[in-house]
Amino acid sequence: MRRFLGVFLVFFALPASATLLYPTQGFFSDPWDTRALVPPLGQYRAVPGPHLQIRRVKLPPPAVLKRLRTLPALTAWALAHNPQTASAWADLAAQAAALGYAKGLWLPSISAQVQGQRSETLYSTRLLNAPAVNGLYSSLSFSEVLFDFGYRTDSVQAARSTALAARYSANETLQTVALHVASAYYGLAESLAIVQTYQQGVREARKIYQDTRTQYRAHLKAVTDVYQAQTELAQAREDLASAQGSLQASRAQLAESVGLPVSVRLHIPPLFTPQAPHAPRVTHWLHQAYHQNPAIQADLESMAAARHNMAVAKAQGLPSVSLVGNLGKDWFHKTPNQESFSVGLQLNVPLDANFQHQYQVQKERALYRQAHAQARQEVQNVFLQVWQAYYRWQSSYRAYQAAQSQVHSAEKALSGIRTQYRIGLANILDLVTAEENLISARVTETEELAAYYQYQASLYRYVGVALTGKGV
């Protein structure tokens, strides 16, 4: 019967008591009312704003804004004010502090303890109780590792490699920020040139409309020509309005990449005509990228850190020898004081009874293989980016030259067709088509010019060369 009651308590009473201790409803299920933050399933509910407020981006003085016109000036400002740079520098500072922490393993561990205590022993028999003792206890202990199978050395090396990886990652962040600034800069220059192109297209479309209307009033052209010219003018205005919207977006993009408020209007000069790229072969850029690209260098240092961490894990499971000592002095009231001193050697032999060291070594070995694979993959990714940027840079210059020739031919064609239209040798569709071809050629020329500089910046970024903004 007792055995039956015991089984009953195990299978029925204990689950019931667990339900009482951990209720799912009522006050004791959520005494702090944390479920108030969880809205009903599938319903949207506004939440209060964050308690921590982020400082707004301060607008620099007007004198500083006037100097932010060239790509080098904008890049220098971005590297000093972009939040990505601050984040990378904070991570680098943290890893540098971790290196200092690892170097501290070479110093002895010293600790001091002071304790005031009143103790008294009471007996449950009729014997007299011992008098109370008031004492002040102090001790100073130290420990110095003499031999640890390379644990401290590998720990320092792993921390140093991690700090170097953070340093290379910070450099990569700088180049990424600089590339974003360059892309936004050339994008804004492209948008400015396209707006000017469409503004000129509106003026030419208006001139065609006015000439057609004058000839219609003189009964030299049909009314359909007027409608066609009016349609072309409306299309030109529509293209201009769209280009102006893209221009405002490009201005905001450049301001954001620099680290300024998006409402800041940055004014930049037009792009210069590029020179023919006399660059080394692509193999030279690949070789330079392998030795200078910060992403590759960061992954190589991370791989080195993983190798040292594997050695640290192995050393943790091996014996170590330490020099230990202790110095103590105790003060008592109405009793003699006591002093103590000890020094000796301590042999620490870890016993991997729960196999934690074994699995830790396996974990670090797998992480090393992962870091090695990631480094190889990063090399391939960088090589691909360099290869694509190099040939796109080369082809964009040839495309820009072809676009220049196309603009020159389109201008002559429009001039000739305009004359033919006035004397009746060409119709309005020929004139409108020639006008559209000229605008398209000018836009293509602008796009290829911006693409030339953007691919050049991408090539320099992935190779690991600083972006200086040459040619602008």
**Dihedral through CA 353, CA 355, CA 361, CA 365, nearest 10?**
160
CA distance 271 to 117: 81
Look at residues 468, 453, 456, 460 and name the one whose alpha carbon lies nearest to residue 285: 460
Does 137 reside within a domain?
no
pLDDT along the chain (472 residues), means of 10: 53 58 78 80 68 63 82 89 87 90 89 86 69 83 90 92 92 90 94 94 91 85 88 93 94 90 88 80 92 93 94 90 90 81 89 88 94 95 94 93 94 90 86 91 94 92 71 41
The domain total for the chain is: 1
CA 74 to chain centre: 19
What is the reported pLDDT for 329? Answer: 87
CA distance 191 to 201: 15
Local structure of residue 49 (DSSP, 8 states)? P
Looking up tokens 């008031």 gives: 134
Q: What is the CATH number of the domain that holds 436?
A: 1.20.1600.10
Does 287 reside within a domain?
yes
Sequence-ordered strand ranges (E) for 84-232: 109-119, 133-147
List strands edge to edge, sheet with 133-147: 109-119, 133-147, 320-332, 338-348
Does 112 reside within a domain?
no
- Identify residue 246 by its one-letter amino acid code: S
Please give the backbone phi and psi of residue 49, each rounded to the nearest 5 degrees, phi first.
-65, 165
Does 141 reside within a domain?
no
Non-local (6+) Cβ contacts of 62 within 8 A are none
Does 350 reside within a domain?
no
Does 269 reside within a domain?
yes
The answer to whether 186 and 453 have CB atoms below 8 angstroms apart is: yes
Decide the pairing of beta strands 133-147 and 109-119.
Answer: antiparallel
Classify 264 as helix, strand or coil: coil
The answer to whether 192 and 266 have CB atoms below 8 angstroms apart is: no
User: What is the domain extent for residue 156?
Assistant: 62-105+148-317+356-463
Look at residues 49, 161, 15 and name the one whose alpha carbon lies nearest to residue 95: 161
Does 46 reside within a domain?
no
What is the reported pLDDT for 119? Answer: 80
CA distance 237 to 354: 78
What is the reported pLDDT for 330? Answer: 84
Classify 411 as helix, strand or coil: helix
What is the reported pLDDT for 275? Answer: 79
What is the reported pLDDT for 179? Answer: 92
What is the reported pLDDT for 276? Answer: 76
With residues binned 3-state (H G I as helix, E B as strand, rest as coil), the percentages for the chain, rounded to 5, are 65, 10, 25
- Identify residue 51 by its one-letter amino acid code: H
H helix or E strand, kind and range, residue 30: none
CA distance 371 to 377: 10
CA distance 330 to 336: 9
What is the reported pLDDT for 215? Answer: 85
Does 143 reside within a domain?
no
CA distance 413 to 440: 14
